[in-house]
Amino acid sequence: MGMTHIVDRRLNGKNKSAVNRERFLRRYRHHIKRAVSDAVQKRSITDIERGEKVSIPSRDIEEPIFHHGQGGKREVVHPGNQEFVAGDTIPKPEGGGGQGSGQGQASPDGEGMDEFAFQITQEEFLDFLFDDLELPNLARKKLKDTEAFKYIRSGFSTEGVPAKLDVVRSLRGAHARRLGLGGARKKKIRDLEKQLEALKTAPEDLDPAFSHEDQIQVLEEEIARLKANVRRIPFIDEIDLRYRQHVKKPQPATSAVMFCLMDVSGSMTQMHKDIAKRFFILLYLFLKKNYKKIEVVFIRHHTSAKEVDEEEFFYSRETGGTIVSSALKLMHKIIESRYSPAEWNIYAAQASDGDNWNDDSPVCGKILADNILPLVQYFAYVEITPQDHQMLWYEYEKIQEQFPQSFALQQIADPGEIYPVFRQLFERKAA
């Protein structure tokens, strides 16, 4: 026979189903989004960055077809008879609908069969988590921000400094020029030399009027003239020189810094901080999707502000009163010294229970409006309190009216609201 063709397909790529899988996720994006947002609320903060198991009610993904239901009269042949003989009767179980039609499936692993469960990857998880969200003012920053530059190669030029001379390219140009200028003459020289050779070996006296001697002399003179010409072609000429050219290209900043500002005064309980932390983490993940490099600055404050590391930020407790402006002042100082807005996209999230010394709130508003908001992409304030607002909130509301593009404030009363509030803050605005 020998008709069999054996093919190794293993290298053909395995993702033939990728599109179909994507279609499935697309179709059930609402289910998945819900599962993702539930997961965010249930998960511990540290393991937010992994995939997630998603369950969809089976009836929602059924592909219905016509089939038989229960009831009527049905006969089924089974294997493995032990003691039955024809005519035997077996009582039906109490209240049972009788035997199934073979449609029902037993669950192989105890997982309910009315759930279709599958795994999505971490990347898909984040995509669904931040679907429809966008960083405010991202585009604006890119266009406006022309202070950061990068030099990039952009071809070659005939002028430049010696340090940028491209030797290979220059010599190649010289070679081409020499060929171009000398080629025809060299060919002519070769032709004349052939004639000369022929003349020297040919027998004498074919044309007494123009003797061999004369002819040889004419040819030799011509050859000498041409050779001198060729010799005068310079090995390298100024017009051969090529310099690498670089142009200055405005570089959109790809780094971001995120300021986390939190009130740690006595009124902030661990529960408050936990909510704040989750909010900060969401913001961090979201920024990470958009920027290559992110730095995080933690500023905590009570009556005075301090830059701290993450551990101290979330877990140490302080007592005493609250002066919010201290944190804003420190933030401004840090921006000035370390994060030039030309190179950094600056985001800030401030969490507080709304408590502040009343005299301080107008100061906060002024620092924000005059010093901070002109420098940052977005400043989000979340007030973690189920109670009525205090002075600070009303001050911030005025700021929002003034800076609707770059300032937003929201209130969170319990952990379940973190994600919805986060979504509200970063919702894609209709263009």
- Residue whose C-alpha is closest to residue 354's, from 304, 408, 412: 412
Span of 116-124, 203-211, 272-280, 413-421 interacting with another protein by CB under 8 A = 116-124
Between residues 101 and 400, which has the closer beta carbon with respect to another protein?
A: 101
Between residues 56 and 135, which has the closer beta carbon with respect to another protein?
A: 56
How far apart are CB 16 and another protein at their closest, in Å? 4
How far apart are CB 52 and another protein at their closest, in Å? 14
Give the distance from CA 103 to its chain's centroid. Answer: 46
| Residues from 370 through 429 that contact another protein (CB under 8 A) | none
Between residues 91 and 162, which has the closer beta carbon with respect to another protein?
A: 91
- Residue whose C-alpha is closest to residue 56's, from 31, 25, 22, 26: 31
How far apart are the C-alpha atoms of 236 and 242, rounded to whole Å? 12
Sequence-distant (≥ 6) Cβ neighbours of residue 37 within 8 angstroms: 129, 419, 420
Between residues 30 and 140, which has the closer beta carbon with respect to another protein?
A: 30
Sole binder of another protein in the list 45, 113, 117, 139 (CB under 8 A): 117
Give the distance from CA 247 to its chain's centroid. Answer: 26
Between residues 20 and 46, which has the closer beta carbon with respect to another protein?
A: 20
Span of 113-121, 208-216, 291-299, 409-417 interacting with another protein by CB under 8 A = 113-121
How far apart are CB 263 and another protein at their closest, in Å? 45
Sole binder of another protein in the list 55, 101, 255, 371 (CB under 8 A): 101
How far apart are the C-alpha atoms of 145 and 136, rounded to whole Å? 15
How far apart are the C-alpha atoms of 278 and 417, rounded to whole Å? 11
DSSP string covering 105-173, please?
---SSSS-TTEEEEEE-HHHHHHHHTTTB--TTHHHHHHH--S-EEEEEEEEES---GGGB-HHHHHHH
How far apart are the C-alpha atoms of 14 and 16, rounded to whole Å? 6
Between residues 76 and 143, which has the closer beta carbon with respect to another protein?
A: 76
Would you say 293 and 254 are in contact if contact means Cβ atoms under 8 Å apart?
yes
How far apart are CB 117 and another protein at their closest, in Å? 7
Between residues 10 and 231, which has the closer beta carbon with respect to another protein?
A: 10
Sole binder of another protein in the list 47, 109, 311, 388 (CB under 8 A): 109
Between residues 118 and 156, which has the closer beta carbon with respect to another protein?
A: 118
How far apart are CB 29 and another protein at their closest, in Å? 11
Site string for another protein, 1-20 (x = CB under 8 A): xxxxxxxxxx-x-xxxx-xx
How far apart are CB 60 and another protein at their closest, in Å? 11
Phi-psi region of 190 (alpha: psi -120 to 50; beta: other; left: phi over 0): alpha
Give residue 203's identity as a one-letter amino acid code: P
Residues binding another protein: what is the number (CB under 8 A)? 67
How far apart are CB 36 and another protein at their closest, in Å? 16
Between residues 28 and 396, which has the closer beta carbon with respect to another protein?
A: 28
Would you say 48 and 285 are in contact if contact means Cβ atoms under 8 Å apart?
yes
| Residues from 40 through 99 that contact another protein (CB under 8 A) | 61-82, 84-92, 98-99
Sole binder of another protein in the list 32, 39, 116, 300 (CB under 8 A): 116
How far apart are the C-alpha atoms of 247 and 143, rounded to whole Å? 18
How far apart are CB 72 and another protein at their closest, in Å? 3
DSSP 92: P
Site string for another protein, 182-221 (x = CB under 8 A): ----------------------------------------
How far apart are the C-alpha atoms of 394 and 354, rounded to whole Å? 10
How far apart are CB 66 and another protein at their closest, in Å? 5
How far apart are CB 145 and another protein at their closest, in Å? 37
How far apart are the C-alpha atoms of 342 and 335, rounded to whole Å? 11
How far apart are the C-alpha atoms of 371 and 329, rounded to whole Å? 9
- Residue whose C-alpha is closest to residue 116's, from 51, 61, 63: 61
Would you say 303 and 324 are in contact if contact means Cβ atoms under 8 Å apart?
no
Does residue 110 belong to the site contacting another protein (CB under 8 A)?
no
Applying CB under 8 A, the residues found at the interface with another protein are: 1-10, 12, 14-17, 19-27, 61-82, 84-92, 98-99, 101-103, 106, 108-109, 116-119
